[in-house]
Chains A and B, each alone.
Chain A
Amino acid sequence: MKDKMTSMERWRSLVDGDPVDRVPVFPWAIGHAATTMGYETLGEYYSKPDVQLKCQKIEKELFGYDQPVCLLDPGYYGEAWGTEIEEPYREAMSAPSPTVPAASNAEELEELEVPDPEEDMPRFVELVGSAIEEDLFPIVWIQGGWVSHTAPQLVELEKFMKWTRTDPDLCEIALDKTAEFAIKLAEYFADNFGTEWIPMDATPTDANILIRAEVFGDIVKPRAKKVHEKVLDLGVPMWYTHYCSDHLKNIEAGHIEDIPLGDPGIIHFGPEITIGDIKERFGKRNIVCGNVDPPTLQTGSFDEVTELCKQNIETGRDSSNGYMLGAGCEFPPRAPASNLYAMVKAAREYGQY
């Protein structure tokens, strides 16, 4: 089936609430773009802004998916704070990895100063600047105020986890710092490059596989909410939030609904919750994205992936604010190219409106 809209037309229409020709595909392919381009490791991709941008543009064109370029800080949101980051120059690595955290105790944490985007994140600024200049309407990963991107980006995760019980005030200090950082970063981009971009955050270490919904509600939600509100106030179109892993208890406690995504905002859960359930709970407020499970994308056959996509599309396609076919988390960087194509092909075949 031939597409009637270009990827960019489809993406913009979805975001604007206008009709689209078929279900858009947002595989959240980031590292995969580097393997498509023949890089053996993800090192160059993550550390060099021009490589990150080029790989994504070409992969998008090659596969015909609708996800705009999706930009991550080459310093992985930790370097700017003084955390040591290992760039993924080893073949086995699938993302950069924080090694030595900026703060290992209360004193170090209290002394940390919120980084300055221009001075401390020049590569990210360059990356976001060029994508907006090229009118790519990018997704820009802005994150703070959540556990994710506070631990392990500032403080080691296990330490942070223990603090939630022993020293919650330290958790709050750390969360306040990253919240301020996220707001500052978004303000910088809005002031310098305008608001034609969509902020994104992803929240694996806020999941209920790690922390209680009560803890999330008490210490995380107020900060996440503040960051979302302040960034929306800048005039960006909406938020895209990926609730990574199991957030069922956070959902049941009503916390997720309290964190604004804008109008309509894009909500994306992992495969722990079905598209049917997401549609029912959030479809009236948000664009729903998801959620073919990553293990199948990595090891399943073309036909298996196609079947899963078909099921997802059939359930999600009539969601009130729109639906996009996506993976349950990042599209695995070394999954077969045919499984990425399977997503696009399935949307063309089963997702026509």
Chain B
Amino acid sequence: MEEEDLFGELTDAVVAGDKDRCRGLAEQALDEGLDPYKALMEGCAEGMNIMSDRYDEGEAYVPDILLSAEALYEAMDVLKPHIDVEDTGVSGKVLLGVVEGDIHDIGKNVLKSIFDAAGFDVIDLGRDVRPEQFQETIEKEKPDILGLSALMTTSMTGMPKIIENLQKAGLREKVKVMVGGAPISEDYAEKIGADGYAPNAPQAKKTAEKLLKQKKKEA
């Protein structure tokens, strides 16, 4: 199959949430000697981008995005071991988590799949994450970006505490912090001293890329 056609089929398989087809196509891409990184980005990631745009426009729903993400991971499973990190161009490490007291993790999971698809190295601490856990992981893993998610007015107040802790520990300059979730706004992000905010997954990806560039410039 032509490279373009196969990547197109991968995109369709992710959009359809068809994990068996995704695995098959990923294997086929390897068999045919196609670039696995390109297969991931131009095939799978494109599918995930389409889905998160559709969700944003009210055309796709949570079950659809979850199944697409599952299909994406199936292909990633096949392709990733063959991808040379050097080839990827993006070399960003993102630490994600939902703040303590908050178990709303669907949005964060969507974000994770978009970031994974975009080639970021993602560490996911899950939901209901205590501030110390964020801090310890930052010390150990040295991510470029910390992505904090909160879906409730009650839990979003945990965000400034995490940022404060980072400051106290002398880690604030080492990591860019972006925040999001339904009750979060640009204003709130600014108020609590975060570096970035995004209302949805497609924009979150752009924000992360922007922050990464900034960070590299500063270094």
Contact = CB atoms under 8 A, between A and B. Distances in A.
Contact of A210 (B61, B103, B154): B61
A165 B71 CA distance: 14
A97 interface: yes
A164 interface: yes
Contacts of B158: 92
A94 B63 contact: no
A283 interface: no
Interface stretch (A185-193, A259-267, A293-301): A293-301
Query: Size band of the B side of the interface?
Result: 20 to 34
Contacts of A290: none
Nearest to B153: A298
A294 B67 contact: no
Interface stretch (A154-162, A173-181, A220-228): A154-162
Interface in A160-219: 161-162, 164-166, 208-212, 215
A249 B58 CA distance: 10
B64 interface: yes
A294 B155 CA distance: 12
Contacts of A215: 61, 63
A20 B109 CA distance: 48
Query: Size band of the A side of the interface?
Result: 20 to 34
Contacts of A78: none
A94 B101 contact: yes
B75 to A, nearest CB: 17
Identify which of B67, B99, B153 gathers the most chain A CB atoms within 10 Å of its CB: B153
Given A97-B103, A158-B106, A295-B183, A165 B154 contact: no
Contact of B154 (A94, A166, A249): A94
Nearest to B64: A165
A165 B69 CA distance: 14
Interface of B: 17, 58, 61-64, 66-67, 70, 99-103, 106, 109, 128, 130, 152-155, 157-158, 183
Given A164-B63, A299-B153, 20 more contacts: A90-B100, A91-B101, A92-B99, A92-B101, A94-B101, A94-B152, A94-B154, A97-B128, A162-B63, A165-B17, A165-B63, A165-B64, A165-B67, A208-B61, A211-B62, A212-B61, A215-B63, A294-B153, A332-B153, A334-B154
7 contacts: A92-B102, A94-B154, A94-B155, A209-B62, A295-B153, A299-B153, A332-B154
Nearest 8 A/B pairs, CB to CB: A92-B101, A298-B153, A92-B100, A161-B63, A210-B62, A94-B154, A295-B153, A164-B63
